[in-house]
Amino acid sequence: MSKAQKVHEFVPQRLIFLEYPSYLEQPGNVAEVTLSIFYAFSLISGCGTFTFLSSAVAAISGLLMGYELGLISGALLQMSSILVLSCKEQEIVVSSLLFGALFASLTGGFLIDRFGRRPAIIIASSLLVLGSLILLPYESYRILIVGRIAIGISISLSSIATCVYIAEIAPQHRRGLLVSLNELMIVIGILFAYISNYAFASISHGWKYMFGLVIPLGALQAVAMYFLPPSPRFLVMKNNDEAARKVLEKLRETSDATKELTVIKSSLKDEHQYSFLDLFRSKNNMRARMLVGLTLVFFVQTTGQPNILFYASTVLKSVGFQSNEAASLASTGVGVVKVVSTVPATVFVDQVGSKTFLCIGSSVMAVSLVTMGLVNRNIHVNFTNVCRSQSPEDFFLQRPGNLTGVTNGSLKDLFASKTSPERLSFGAQKSPHVARTEELNRTALAGGKSTTGSHMESGEVPVVLKWLSLGSLLVYVAAFSIGLGPMSWLVLSEIFPGGIRGRAMALTSSMNWGINLLISLTFLTVTELIGLSSVCFIYTVMSLASLAFVIAFIPETKGCSLEQISMELAKQLYELIPKKRFFQCKLCVPTSPHKKRYRSNERERQCWCHECHVPAPLI
């Protein structure tokens, strides 16, 4: 029976709730419907039910990762008010998660290979729950940093372990589909984060609810992963072939997994041919491939998308969405666009090609960034008003209905008892910037209003410019989501041979987190110094540079197997001008063992010896 026939017979029998919603009201039918949905997806995707279920549970890590990455955008608006954070302190809050992620990316590969993929996911989920619990009862800058570092370690470790786990349990013909499920969950998590930002924007200490929402889901994943099978590839690495055979038979729903087990053993044997240092050697053109991978990751970060992700609400607040609620609601559009754009890119990449998507994405990013820069130059907004820390009085005054009947004296008395020195930063002395902010606040309170939430004392931002800025931002996000976002990691997974792919991905991932940390740690400071429009123009230049790089150095891998891609890249030398080199000619070795000078053609892997004047293979 074909897959289409199975789905045709399956739908009317077990998906009856689609036609009769009241079916869900009957006791015990909800669990049956849930399993039915998993079974339907497994039939459509072409993999077993248990394999799809295991992949879906593991992909919860992507949802948690996306949520934590997008969460800080709206939470930062409240935390900067309640904890009285300066620009630099806000940057440290954002970057603390990236610091933990960088640390985990450097050590996570060892932990995953030593203890296994499934235990690593369980540990990561537990650590995320612990880090989130730390943030709930305290209102301390130091505790906030510690909790965010723990969460950063968690999401980095889980991202590595999840991709490896899904790739190793998935059947070969559906590996790309199941691995892309994790990427889709990341952008869905970002969307959920922006929605929670808006939902709790007007609630006092709403950032605590934002951090606490992931605790049940993280605990659920940790428990569920315990009952899922370990990676069969990891079991073979630990010389437990019989257990690996049983796991494969369960995942593939077959009684004989000998053939696939043999393939796994063969691939593991090939991996021992490479060492980590081979990434920096000319063997199989590996050094050039590594430079291409690192440069691609460099452009992923320097085109500005991470800052839009972390500071979306802050940026939108600077261009006219003045209240926390308005900025958070507008940033929700960013999450929606990321999800909508990622889906078609994932579905059509095999038909269109990753290089084509990269070129389209970089081009559209450059155009939208130019538009953003020109619009923000005409808005004349002082970004310092947004970057500057707000006092608790300002946050109270920004909430609807809190200005009526409140006098200056009563307001000061109210917040004097609520503000504690522990909510400030590491240093006991306030920075001049924060002191100036509080002085302005006191002056405004004497007049009956707060100035911190005001971005343009001379008037509101023109409606046309405000929405044009938001529209260009959404186009920029969409272009990244079909280009550099998903396609960069697809290219990285293809240009390295299987025997060294894991170590190459770990190195590029470390650089990714490191550059992300550096950029996020300086975004507010740089934007305050040179202006948001100038930052947009810098990102435009980087987008155009990434377009030129993709055209010149990224191969089109559409329709090619991983083995074919590796063989072609082993021949290709990423040099625009051939150079004279010293090689040793095989033909001259018996009579002239010393090295001879001759011109090389590395694309054909041949050379012309100056002594015997005939082509000879390179050695």
Q: What is the CATH number of the domain that holds 537?
A: 1.20.1250.20
The verdict on residue 472 lying in a domain is yes
The verdict on residue 16 lying in a domain is no
Last residue of a domain, one of 272, 305, 340: 272
Helical ranges in 59-173 per DSSP H: 60-82, 87-115, 117-135, 141-169
Better-predicted residue by pLDDT, 340 or 504: 340
Determine what percent of the chain is predicted with pLDDT higher than 70: 67
Residue 254 and residue 170 share a domain: no
The arithmetic mean of pLDDT across residues 53-59, rounded, is: 91
What's the pLDDT at 70?
Answer: 87
Instruction: State the average pLDDT for the chain.
Output: 73
Residue 395 and residue 356 share a domain: no
Does pTM surpass 0.75? no
Query: In this model, does residue 151 exceed pLDDT 90?
Result: yes
Which among 273, 284, 297 has a CA at the least distance from the CA of 572? 284
Residue 324 and residue 265 share a domain: no
Q: Are strands 596-601 and 606-609 parallel, antiparallel or unpaired?
A: antiparallel
Q: Which domain holds residue 113?
A: 57-227
Joined tokens for residue 287: 């050094």
Query: In this model, does residue 34 exceed pLDDT 80?
Result: no
Structure confidence at residue 576 as a pLDDT band (50, 70, 90): very low
Select the highest-mean-pLDDT range: 38-47, 158-167, 309-318, 490-499: 158-167
DSSP codes of every residue in 7-56 = HHHHHHHH-GGGT-GGGGGSTTHHHHHHHHHHHHHHHHHTS-HHHHHHHH
The arithmetic mean of pLDDT across residues 111-120, rounded, is: 86
Residue 611 and residue 553 share a domain: no
Task: Report the CATH number at residue 267.
Answer: 1.10.286
Structure confidence at residue 217 as a pLDDT band (50, 70, 90): very high
Last residue of a domain, one of 243, 272, 301: 272
What's the pLDDT at 364?
Answer: 95
Residue 431 and residue 320 share a domain: no
The verdict on residue 341 lying in a domain is yes
CB 15 within 8 A of CB 22: no
Structure confidence at residue 224 as a pLDDT band (50, 70, 90): very high
Buried-exposed string 302-321: b where 16+ CB fall within 10 A, e elsewhere = bbbbbbbbbbbbbbbbbbbb
Better-predicted residue by pLDDT, 589 or 488: 488
Residue 293 and residue 373 share a domain: yes
What's the pLDDT at 440?
Answer: 41
Helical ranges in 303-353 per DSSP H: 305-310, 312-318, 324-352
pLDDT tens-digit map of 468-502: 888 888 999 999 988 888 888 778 877 877 667 77
**Count of domains forming the chain:** 5
The verdict on residue 27 lying in a domain is no
Last residue of a domain, one of 446, 469, 484: 446
The verdict on residue 182 lying in a domain is yes
Residue 549 and residue 457 share a domain: yes
Structure confidence at residue 456 as a pLDDT band (50, 70, 90): very low
Select the highest-mean-pLDDT range: 209-218, 465-474, 526-535: 209-218
What's the pLDDT at 426?
Answer: 38
The verdict on residue 44 lying in a domain is no
pLDDT tens-digit map of 228-248: 999 888 888 888 888 888 888
Rounded distance between C-alpha atoms, residue 568 and residue 579, angstroms? 21
What's the pLDDT at 65?
Answer: 93
The verdict on residue 539 lying in a domain is yes
Query: In this model, does residue 7 exceed pLDDT 60?
Result: no
The verdict on residue 4 lying in a domain is no
Residue 189 and residue 327 share a domain: no
Residue 315 and residue 252 share a domain: no
Residue 316 and residue 257 share a domain: no
pLDDT tens-digit map of 288-323: 888 988 999 999 999 988 777 777 777 777 777 767
Residue 172 and residue 116 share a domain: yes
Structure confidence at residue 100 as a pLDDT band (50, 70, 90): very high
Geometric angle at alpha carbon 47, from 46 and 52, rounded to 5°? 125
The arithmetic mean of pLDDT across residues 190-196, rounded, is: 90
Residue 333 and residue 356 share a domain: yes
